[in-house]
Amino acid sequence: MSQAMSDIAVTELQQMAASWESEYKQLISGNNVRLDLSRGKPAPEQLALSDSLDGILHGNFITPSGIDTRNYGNVLGIPEARALGAELMGVPANEVVAGGNSSLSLMHFVLGTAMHQGFWGDQRRWRNDPRPKLLTPVPGYDRHFALSESFGLEMINIPMTPAGPDMQRAAELAANDPSIKGIWCVPKYSNPTGNTYSQDIVDAMAVLPQQAASDDFVVLWDNAYAVHDLDEAGDILPCLREACLKVGTYDHVVQFASTSKITLASGGVGFIAVSENVLKVLEKHLSVFVIGPDKVNQLRHVKFLGGRLKEHMAAHAAIVRPKFERVLTKLRTELADLKVANWTEPKGGYFISLDVQPGLAKKVITLAGAAGLTLTPAGATFPYGKDPLDKNIRIAPTFAQEAELEQAMHILTLCIKLVSAQATLGQQKV
Amino acid sequence: MSQAMSDIAVTELQQMAASWESEYKQLISGNNVRLDLSRGKPAPEQLALSDSLDGILHGNFITPSGIDTRNYGNVLGIPEARALGAELMGVPANEVVAGGNSSLSLMHFVLGTAMHQGFWGDQRRWRNDPRPKLLTPVPGYDRHFALSESFGLEMINIPMTPAGPDMQRAAELAANDPSIKGIWCVPKYSNPTGNTYSQDIVDAMAVLPQQAASDDFVVLWDNAYAVHDLDEAGDILPCLREACLKVGTYDHVVQFASTSKITLASGGVGFIAVSENVLKVLEKHLSVFVIGPDKVNQLRHVKFLGGRLKEHMAAHAAIVRPKFERVLTKLRTELADLKVANWTEPKGGYFISLDVQPGLAKKVITLAGAAGLTLTPAGATFPYGKDPLDKNIRIAPTFAQEAELEQAMHILTLCIKLVSAQATLGQQKV
């Protein structure tokens, strides 16, 4: 079968659909699979790479810089952990906050500061605007959307291209609406498309705060997959800091990173990077509710990753790469010829973004769910859970074992073929 | 010398003051001491009691309940850590959130929720009031005040008595001003007085949300020193939960606790306890910015403290008790007869509260600072840093070594004698 579905004769497609439907019915009658491709969670084998974190200190809790990590203090983190964050983000260590286990919590802090206190020690606060808004490249990261919504920030979709967000559209919107206060970015191996921003996009992003009508526009740069390459020759993300320093906008950028997908998803270290000016203001507001992060865990990370980050990430890649390949192979084998879906083939990160034919994503996800396969809810990669074309499905291949992955992708591709055939045939029933 | 300073003849007191002044001048000319009684930090010997936390898991990261602590999830904490919090707070485990390393950050979350989302899933939010206020028993904990101020919450002082806050005054104020939204409490070994609330006070506190004119009044119950007794026969804090359940106000209480002063100040576990109703709402808001706490560290704590909390706290007491005794002995020896100061003699906690004669605290603290002894800034135990009588000094005996403590208390009592004598003699100069 090497025909596009739309070219297949009706009677033939009817036969194929009947066969897929019968296979699907058999699947759900068995009703004994419980598979999950919904969240970007590391597999136990990946987590085990960092098991030696616990006990790595051998009773020595003092940093090379002389800090007793067990006691209170050091709201910005220990210098050695700030240096680790600097390495991840490609910035100087004195621009880094090393925090607790969650960059998401740091993002919450940063949005709260933007809303209620401002970043610049002056009167600018997003809440001064009756309806502050953010630009959200789509498809994107659902937790960014939930966070923004919780602060009452209205979201405006910007289409993603393979090179990054549509910056012309972003600039037009920001220049004409002073209520637009910022833009969310996952610049490397973007969640969920896996795309990495090009030099042109990064340069355009650096200029955006100047083009914006609002004087408190901020680029929120969540570099969650900074070192998460599947192959040694991963994508290279151009340096936003450098681009901003050239045009004088560095006070309008907040970068985030985390070791959650480097060491332990639960017990890692999160980071913020900002200009020294903004850091002074952030430190003041952070000090209100943080006496210090878990410095013991920071020291563990420094000892564990020091000098061997690249090697450690290669060990992750050796586990993750075959899973990505299995998903992609299955997509190619089952769907390529039929031309009923498109997908990305990222060189790193945690996701593959799959677009089915418009209007079918929700049906596919529901059908797969009934067969025991949990996928990210339809629409989750869009603000307010609304995928305007109802076509995007996010695949998270990392957590499942390879045999499960094969089975899960079998269910997913079967559901896509069945739903696509039904749509093509103008049928509704399963 | 067994006379009160006010009874000493002028010429004799002049001689004494001259001698104290000369001793003080000698002290500052040496200028080589750097002592600090300012913050309630555990001593290195206390921290070392928990050194075996690191490595305690021996490669087993799975909880008895079957959770892989290394991965994402479990926003309320692992069940075993919630049970540990329940033990600390005397509540059922299903009412507990086990969080990250900081109860202060949990308080920040709780105040933010009270302001912007409310605790009850309805329209009640503190920000609906143009000038929301909190009652603050004084002297109290400076970080509670800074936190409240950061949310724009106006603070109204309530006098502390040895049995707890003046509840008659609290009830009068709350009943007459619907802008009063809550009260801060450190109910056991209160910071800084070391007092523990009596049964009458706890009962009165349970009724307060009903007496309040506002329908979203909340008791903020920071039980920071729940198990921090200096002797086996420590103070017994009556159960607020029980008192509230009797009168039906349990949806208006948020309790906090932490292991920061049980295990590691930097690497502990913080807790919230609320009614099941309120927990549902808190979980929803917490989930916006927390995927899960550091469950690995929670499991460490469960393994480390399980079944031996009492024994572990006795080891702390063995280190801390002699330090409290040394401070109290020095106060008694140097100041009791002169009647120039009053102080508390707590059975636990981290502080001794010292009142000098009105108007003299700032001078004493400045003088001590010039001699190399850092004390908590004058006024810090009051909202906005304003001690209306300028008399309270908070002493934190735990961090210093005993020899340093002796020296620090020598400087402090010398400064008190000198400043009191000068005031008595009507002099201003040093």
Mean pLDDT by 10 residues, chain B (430 residues): 88 96 92 85 97 98 97 98 98 98 97 97 97 98 97 97 98 98 98 97 98 98 98 94 98 98 98 98 97 98 97 98 98 97 97 97 97 94 97 96 95 98 76
Return phi, psi of residue B410, to 5°: -65, -45
CB of A57 within 8 Å of a chain B CB? The answer is yes
Q: Rounded to a whole number, what is the distance in angstroms from the first to the last CA of chain A?
A: 23
CB atoms within 10 A of CB B179: 17
Indicate whether A88 pLDDT > 70: yes
Contact between residue A325 and residue A317 where contact means Cβ atoms under 8 Å apart: no
**CB spacing of A294 vs B100 below 8 angstroms:** yes
Among residues B109, B36, B97, B88, which one has the least CA distance to residue B395? B36
Contact between residue A82 and residue A99 where contact means Cβ atoms under 8 Å apart: no
The CA-CA-CA angle for residues B152, B154, B156, to 5°, reads 160
Least Cα separation, residue A396 to chain B (angstroms): 14
**CB spacing of A266 vs B50 below 8 angstroms:** no
**CB spacing of B295 vs A266 below 8 angstroms:** yes
**CB spacing of B70 vs A267 below 8 angstroms:** yes
Contact between residue A102 and residue B290 where contact means Cβ atoms under 8 Å apart: yes
Indicate whether A1 pLDDT > 60: no
Indicate whether A430 pLDDT > 90: no
Q: B91-95: long-range contacts at Cβ-Cβ below 8 A with a sequence spacing of 24 or more?
A: B91/B241, B91/B255, B91/B273, B94/B276, B94/B279, B95/B273, B95/B274, B95/B275, B95/B276, B95/B279
pTM: 0.96
Find all residues with CB under 8 Å of B122, minimum gap 6, and list them: none
- Give residue A227's region: left, alpha or beta (phi > 0; psi -120 to 50): alpha
- Which ipTM value was assigned to this complex? 0.96
Nearest CB neighbour to A288, from listed B50, B150, B294: B150
pLDDT tens digits along A96-114: 999 999 999 999 999 999 9
Residues of chain B with Cβ-Cβ distance to A100 below 8 Å are 100-102, 294
Cα–Cα distance, B368 to B10 (Å, whole number): 25
- Give residue B118's region: left, alpha or beta (phi > 0; psi -120 to 50): left
The domain at B5-46+311-424 falls in which architecture? Answer: Alpha-Beta Complex (3.90)
Pick the residue from chain B with its C-alpha nearest to A57: B54
pLDDT tens digits along A201-218: 999 999 999 999 999 999
* Sequence ranges of the domains in chain B: 5-46+311-424, 63-306
Looking at residue B31, what is its pLDDT? 67
Return phi, psi of residue B354, to 5°: -120, 125
DSSP state at residue A39 = S
**CB spacing of A51 vs B59 below 8 angstroms:** yes
The domain at B63-306 falls in which architecture? Answer: 3-Layer(aba) Sandwich (3.40)
Contact between residue B339 and residue B417 where contact means Cβ atoms under 8 Å apart: no
CA distances from B428 to B19, B58, B252, B421, B425 (A): 16, 64, 50, 10, 9
CB atoms within 10 A of CB A37: 27
DSSP state at residue B62 = B
Amino acid at B177: D
**CB spacing of B294 vs A147 below 8 angstroms:** no
Average pLDDT, chain A: 96
The string of DSSP letters for B336-405 reads ITTT-EEE---SBSS-EEEEESTT-HHHHHHHHHHTTEE-PPTTTTSGGG--TTS-EEEE--SSS-HHHH
Contact between residue A272 and residue A104 where contact means Cβ atoms under 8 Å apart: no
How many residues are listed for chain A in this entry?
430
Indicate whether A34 pLDDT > 90: no
Poorest-pLDDT segment among A252-256, A279-283, B34-38:
B34-38
Q: Which homologous superfamily does the CATH classification assign to the domain defined by A5-46+311-425?
A: Aspartate Aminotransferase, domain 1 (3.90.1150.10)
Q: Rounded to a whole number, what is the distance in angstroms from the first to the last CA of chain B?
A: 23
Contact between residue A251 and residue A83 where contact means Cβ atoms under 8 Å apart: no
Contact between residue A389 and residue A372 where contact means Cβ atoms under 8 Å apart: no
Strands A164-165 and A154-161: antiparallel
Indicate whether A40 pLDDT > 60: yes
